[in-house]
Chain A
């Protein structure tokens, strides 16, 4: 077990390091702003006094590495400073929204992951059949469509033509859980469509890849029935690629969620980020970027660790 632990620790360390570098990148990218950050935020019309006040407020009078360290040490405990536009703490701006985004992404994932894996296994079994061809064309179409296209089509059909779901997924007021699911159904469905297609294609490819292995032929020549070949001989070896596929697509959900939130006016962190970008509210941009990047890295890390844990060669060393 020692080797596996070492590998996992190494992977964790590497993930942490990546996160650190990304945080440096995010922090110092803002430093690259031409001229002065405070000036850029306030615009040319600002008086020198207000600029100076903002500089002190943002701590801009200290050298950059010091400011980075203080920013990071605060960020680690969830304190991202104060919004440059509204003056409220960044946590208040994005905290609740982050929960909303997580809810939407999980909603989509809970539907998409099992669906995609089951469908992926089925098309792999029926490869080169009519069903597989049709699935291929449909999934290709789905991944080729921008999220906002799918979102608006769903609005057109299920909110306007057949008013079954609300076109705007606002979360105002106290909602019961079923109401919540109903309100957020269309944005979740949009994400499901995109992610399922991706995952299905990748699952299919991973399984077909495995089916070419000599040990699968051996199993067939041993008289093992087809379903058992898949379940007992292919699947145990397919976990690593499948976990990878899932993590990759959950990470993809994070990017997709930004556009979908805008389409459905959903109060998530993605929308907050877009607003902050257009208002040049850098503390919020930095915080949101860091949260997105951290989630992304965490998911990839989970995939790698999962792949290590399911690899028989690593689990049972010589």
Chain B
């Protein structure tokens, strides 16, 4: 029993008593369960386990506070309509938006933020961190931190382009299939089925083995692989809209397909499509990261998170977490996007019930 353990339990117990006294039932249940869990964890893992919990809780609190502040910031700078929407965002969504914002800054301003170039060799292989290199050097002696920043530009940028490609392909064909119907709809549906019947990673590997790992090839292949998902969603959403009487009225008026899509259908399916864009980006991003990890994505010396994990993987067996940082960067962005999308989907489904 040292002072830390005493302070730890004292803080938890006082907090749960306060919560109970002021009738914050949920907070009380949470804090008191944590107290009980801590007793068990403390017995098994000792002081260090409690420290881990403390640090974890602290980080969580920090993230929550940051998200809260960031949401307030967004509310202040956006116009009234949007601000009202933002007020309903849970902290997880605000956290997601903050992360996306940070990544965007890092990606756009990479050359100014990164202290060194992405291919610049400045130290020995696996040199430890120092004042010059925040995270140390990689297997060739390049600055990990700079490569991480550049990775935001390269990995995210590539995934974004591929997602836009998949989206353009899938959404346009989905909208036309819904409006045209008949054989065109059937043919598109069947082709989508075929593409989706091959696992995406396998499909990508097959194509890349044939066409090589050129950046534009990756974009095209990934766009084709993921366009059926967008197609199916767009077709389903637009399919629910084309049966509406206002579409029939417009058709009977003699309006063309393009007018129907642009004026009557698109305004009614923006919400699900935006949410799908987020999800789609996550899939594409993870697929490209997977390919890079297998050495088939962005080629060196361009910095890329997936390949950075692979190149430095050996460090893990020495208990060094450096190779996990780019992997965590990938996970963090997908988590962030998923948080935001989750909120958007919840909102659109919530509105539907009314």
Residues on A facing B (Cβ under 8 Å): 18-19, 21-22, 25-26, 29-30, 32-33, 130, 136-137, 140-141, 143-149, 152-153, 155-156, 159-161, 167, 251, 254-255, 258-259, 262-263, 273-274, 276-278, 280, 282, 285-286, 288-289, 292-293, 296-297, 300
Residues of A within 8 A of B120 (CB): none
**Cα A259 to Cα B290 with chains together (Å):** 7
Q: B210, A32: Cβ atoms under 8 Å?
A: yes
Contact size range, B? 35 or more
Q: Provided the pairs A18-B193, A282-B209, A296-B198 are in contact, do residues A146 and B293 lie with their beta carbons within 8 angstroms?
A: yes
Q: Which 3 A-B pairs have the closest CB atoms?
A: A144-B334, A149-B327, A277-B209
Q: Across the interface, name the chain B residue whose C-beta is closest to A149.
A: B327
Contact of A146 among B194, B208, B286, B323 (CB under 8 A): B286
- A selection of 12 A-B contacts at a CB cut-off of 8 Å is A25-B194, A130-B29, A136-B342, A144-B337, A147-B290, A148-B309, A149-B328, A152-B316, A156-B316, A273-B205, A277-B208, A293-B197
Q: Provided the pairs A29-B210, A30-B210, A140-B338 are in contact, do residues A255 and B201 lie with their beta carbons within 8 angstroms?
A: yes
* Per-residue interface assignment for chain B, residues 316 to 354, with 1 indicating a CB less than 8 Å from any chain A CB and 0 otherwise: 111101011001101100110111001000000000000
Residues of B within 8 A of A254 (CB): 199, 202
Distance between B347 CB and nearest chain A CB, rounded to angstroms: 15
Residues of B within 8 A of A145 (CB): 327, 330-331, 334-335
Contact of A292 among B202, B294, B313, B337 (CB under 8 A): B202
A149, A289, A292, A293 pick with most chain B CB within 10 angstroms: A149
Q: Provided the pairs A29-B207, A146-B330 are in contact, do residues A297 and B202 lie with their beta carbons within 8 angstroms?
A: no
Q: A255, B334: Cβ atoms under 8 Å?
A: no
**Cα A263 to Cα B314 with chains together (Å):** 11
* Per-residue interface assignment for chain B, residues 284 to 301, with 1 indicating a CB less than 8 Å from any chain A CB and 0 otherwise: 001001100111100000
Distance between A27 CB and nearest chain B CB, rounded to angstroms: 11
Residues of A within 8 A of B294 (CB): 258-259, 262, 274, 277
Distance between A21 CB and nearest chain B CB, rounded to angstroms: 5
Distance between A17 CB and nearest chain B CB, rounded to angstroms: 9
* Per-residue interface assignment for chain B, residues 255 to 296, with 1 indicating a CB less than 8 Å from any chain A CB and 0 otherwise: 000000000000000000000000000100010011001111
Contact of B199 among A19, A274, A286, A292 (CB under 8 A): A292
Q: Across the interface, name the chain A residue whose C-beta is closest to B328.
A: A149
Contact of A285 among B200, B205, B282, B334 (CB under 8 A): B205
Q: Across the interface, name the chain B residue whose C-beta is closest to A259.
A: B290
Q: Provided the pairs A144-B338, A149-B328, A296-B197 are in contact, do residues A285 and B316 lie with their beta carbons within 8 angstroms?
A: no
Distance between B97 CB and nearest chain A CB, rounded to angstroms: 15
Q: B206, A26: Cβ atoms under 8 Å?
A: yes
Residues of A within 8 A of B338 (CB): 140, 143-144
A130, A152, A160 pick with most chain B CB within 10 angstroms: A152
Q: A156, B290: Cβ atoms under 8 Å?
A: no
Residues of B within 8 A of A278 (CB): 209, 295-296
Decide yes or no whether B35 CB sits under 8 A from chain A. Answer: no
**Cα A300 to Cα B197 with chains together (Å):** 8
**Cα A222 to Cα B294 with chains together (Å):** 57
Given A149-B327, A258-B202, A282-B209, 16 new contacts (CB under 8 A)? A18-B197, A22-B198, A29-B206, A33-B210, A146-B306, A149-B309, A149-B331, A156-B324, A167-B317, A255-B202, A258-B294, A274-B294, A277-B296, A278-B209, A292-B202, A293-B198
**Cα A156 to Cα B313 with chains together (Å):** 11
Q: A297, B319: Cβ atoms under 8 Å?
A: no
Q: Provided the pairs A146-B286, A152-B309, A278-B296 are in contact, do residues A289 and B194 lie with their beta carbons within 8 angstroms?
A: no
Contact of B319 among A25, A143, A156 (CB under 8 A): A156
Q: Provided the pairs A18-B197, A32-B210, A259-B293 are in contact, do residues A293 and B202 lie with their beta carbons within 8 angstroms?
A: yes
Q: Across the interface, name the chain B residue whose C-beta is closest to A212.
A: B353
Q: A285, B206: Cβ atoms under 8 Å?
A: yes
Residues of A within 8 A of B306 (CB): 146
Q: Across the interface, name the chain A residue whose C-beta is closest to B327.
A: A149
Decide yes or no whether B121 CB sits under 8 A from chain A. Answer: no
Decide yes or no whether B253 CB sits under 8 A from chain A. Answer: no
Q: A273, B202: Cβ atoms under 8 Å?
A: yes
Residues of A within 8 A of B323 (CB): 152
Q: Provided the pairs A156-B321, A251-B199 are in contact, do residues A141 and B331 lie with their beta carbons within 8 angstroms?
A: yes
Q: B202, A289: Cβ atoms under 8 Å?
A: yes
**Cα A64 to Cα B197 with chains together (Å):** 24
Decide yes or no whether B26 CB sits under 8 A from chain A. Answer: yes
